[in-house]
Structure 1
């Protein structure tokens, strides 16, 4: 072997070792947890975990879509690998290895391609906090953007005994929508609860709203203990911290991976039809106060009514509860004192006892709006 051949061989070996060292350095820097940063879009809520055994977690999950239903979740976990200096991540939704260009990776920041976009992420440390053993978690999710109006909204009441009430509305003519009940398997229930323990619930604000935007995806989550609302959090436009989004998003797809039984909205269950937010009203026709109740708090209250005990108790009406019937033109008003709720079922008045005064326990300290007719 002549001298030139030796020099070329040594140079190629040097380049190979340099590439291997760079690949090794990139992989070492990638290890750990990453979350998206500004701007506030669904990309902002992106979250990844690169593990030393080449497993990969997409905090938002992988989804397939037929364009008619809520996209189907096919799991959060996958694998990644390096070929030369290129990062490839296996996509369970397509069963393909996708190439992701890394523009920058440092101990604290990562810039890479994702779904044809440039994604900017920052490193974060997972923190787990102790939370009360909630009796209920209630979630409302309404989509105006991310899923291109594929559906209107989903409501879920998850109880401590793993039973759920699930309302899934696309449009009023879609036979796949409606009201359902079921039981969440123990492992899945534990995962859903554990996700909130990583979301920093105690330090989250009660509401997160974007400025100057109306058409945005909207979520509301209510945590309940012994009938008392411990905390309600509203997230519009993904302005809450990403860890909160990762916790409530799995509830949207619960109907796809557990057995649900359709419930006919008859009797007291009719209170759960097509309702979003609600309001309490009091006063005269000229001077009337109104207290608006969030979507998740509304679904919580209506679930109490739906599961309440029909009785003949007479009570003095303090308020009129008016759920927002956004999919029907029928007027639906409930007379109540906070514990007893009287409304029409099949053209007959029915009084329901929920067993405690929901208003006094949860709403009495909230601020009313005053209207002059």
Structure 2
């Protein structure tokens, strides 16, 4: 055996062994991981809900998903105002020895992110230095998808939180309203690719919607309210009101792609008054001394249904007066002063199926949903006694 052959025989197994170890490490990473929030003895307790965003990541063979997304606010060079710069939730990654490098989506640089300190089947410990550790556990796959439309709404806050409504269905159709502190403002529609739709639906499915409560709230003031309505076969099956991002981490993670979707797709503008939609107000149904107060997302769902319904000349006996409840989470001035209603609204009447919008000095418009919105989505017990605030 020559000396050169001997060297080859020594180093080839070493090279192959290193490559095998690298691939093994990457394969063991594949899956989804959630940070273990545990209060150890003598440690400070974790921040209360709403003050921090739960940390979670996922790995495929070549992509890493940051559940909280890549987003930052940059200064607009023309207006000088802050503008959201959202780069999605996925980017490339690579593993060198025990170090994970991530492709920064803002500057396209490869950034050192973590060193793998310890990895077991269901536990992963990452570190940036010897004193800072992130301990994660593998997320067990759980999916429950019993809806075909999602409506996401945010109320704004004491500050400049975005005020938006967005509806997305399993036919890839979206409606969007930018009401304040977003760009663009106004009403829009779009057809998006099924990959985006499936991703958003899968994020909410992983939150196991059926098991969630209808209300979550933090203990502080001045935060935003997020409401999400889930629809199946045209019927509301659940609405969740979350004040201050107090919901479970899987729900918080599901907010990210849907609330930023408008930055990722082409939007076609719609007229502001087709049909009429109140500024900074939600619909209510009033019957005698009883009132049904719709959540923001439920109001936008009703608007999407009216939007897709027929205009008719049918006369009917009104059963409900439609009132307009103020957005009492947001206390600032109108952030979209440029949006003006074409006609001044006089009143809205309905029997649940037909909705008649009457305007001052203008012909009324009646829309036919084709079904009774109240009977399909609500119970008599959902009507409450009016208060002085109504």
Native 8 Å contact 1:323 1:333 kept in 2: no
TM-score normalised by L of structure 1: 0.75
Partner secondary structure for residue 71 of structure 1: strand
Aligned position for 1:3:
none
Aligned position for 2:73:
65
Q: Distance in 2 between matches of 1:112 and 1:290?
A: 55
Q: How many residues align?
A: 333
Aligned position for 1:157:
167
Matches within 5 A, 1:81-100: 81=95, 88-100=101-113
Q: Distance in 1 between matches of 2:252 and 2:30?
A: 22
Native 8 Å contact 1:344 1:350 kept in 2: yes
Partner secondary structure for residue 285 of structure 2: strand
Aligned position for 1:20:
none
Q: Distance in 1 between matches of 2:50 and 2:118?
A: 22
Query: Tell me, which stretches of 5 or more residues in structure 2 are unaligned?
Result: 1-21, 38-45, 76-81, 328-333
Aligned position for 1:265:
272
Partner secondary structure for residue 44 of structure 1: coil
Q: Distance in 1 between matches of 2:89 and 2:183?
A: 27
Query: Tell me, which stretches of 5 or more residues in structure 1 are unaligned?
Result: 1-22
Q: Distance in 2 between matches of 1:250 and 1:344?
A: 38
Deviations 1:157-177 (A, max 9, x none): 112321211111235xx8831
Q: CA deviation at 1:27?
A: 8.6
Q: Distance in 1 between matches of 2:246 and 2:272?
A: 34
Quote the RMSD (CA, aligned, Å).
Answer: 3.6
Aligned position for 1:201:
209
2:321 matched to 1:313? no
Q: Distance in 2 between matches of 1:63 and 1:234?
A: 24
2:187 matched to 1:179? yes
Native 8 Å contact 1:339 1:353 kept in 2: yes
Q: Distance in 2 between matches of 1:158 and 1:142?
A: 18
Partner secondary structure for residue 196 of structure 1: helix
Q: CA deviation at 1:320?
A: 1.8
Q: CA deviation at 1:101?
A: 6.6
Native 8 Å contact 2:93 2:100 kept in 1: no
User: Cα–Cα, structure 1 residues 110 and 31, in superposed 2: closer, same or farther, change >3 Å?
Assistant: farther
Q: CA deviation at 1:304?
A: 1.4
Aligned position for 1:291:
292
Q: CA deviation at 1:112?
A: 5.5
Aligned position for 1:138:
151
Q: CA deviation at 1:72?
A: 2.0
Matches within 5 A, 1:312-331: 312-324=313-325, 327=334
Aligned position for 2:6:
none
Q: Distance in 1 between matches of 2:26 and 2:51?
A: 26
Native 8 Å contact 2:154 2:224 kept in 1: yes
Q: CA deviation at 1:294?
A: 0.9
Aligned position for 1:349:
364
Deviations 1:42-82 (A, max 9, x none): 6333211256x575321122124324333322442331546
Matches within 5 A, 1:29-108: 32-36=31-35, 37=37, 38-39=46-47, 40-41=49-50, 43-50=52-59, 55-67=63-75, 68-81=82-95, 88-100=101-113, 108=123
Deviations 1:214-257 (A, max 9, x none): 32233221111222111212222222222222223212222222
Q: CA deviation at 1:277?
A: 3.1
Aligned position for 1:277:
282
Aligned position for 2:231:
224
Native 8 Å contact 1:81 1:87 kept in 2: yes
Q: Which moved more, 1:177-186 or 1:152-161?
A: 152-161
Native 8 Å contact 2:65 2:89 kept in 1: no
Q: CA deviation at 1:367?
A: 3.0
Q: Distance in 2 between matches of 1:201 and 1:236?
A: 17
Q: Distance in 2 between matches of 1:179 and 1:119?
A: 45
TM-score normalised by L of structure 2: 0.72
Partner secondary structure for residue 243 of structure 1: helix
Native 8 Å contact 2:224 2:244 kept in 1: yes
Deviations 1:290-335 (A, max 9, x none): 2221111111012212222222222222222223465489767421
Aligned position for 2:180:
170
Q: Distance in 2 between matches of 1:190 and 1:248?
A: 14
Q: Which moved more, 1:62-71 or 1:352-361?
A: 62-71
Aligned position for 2:78:
none
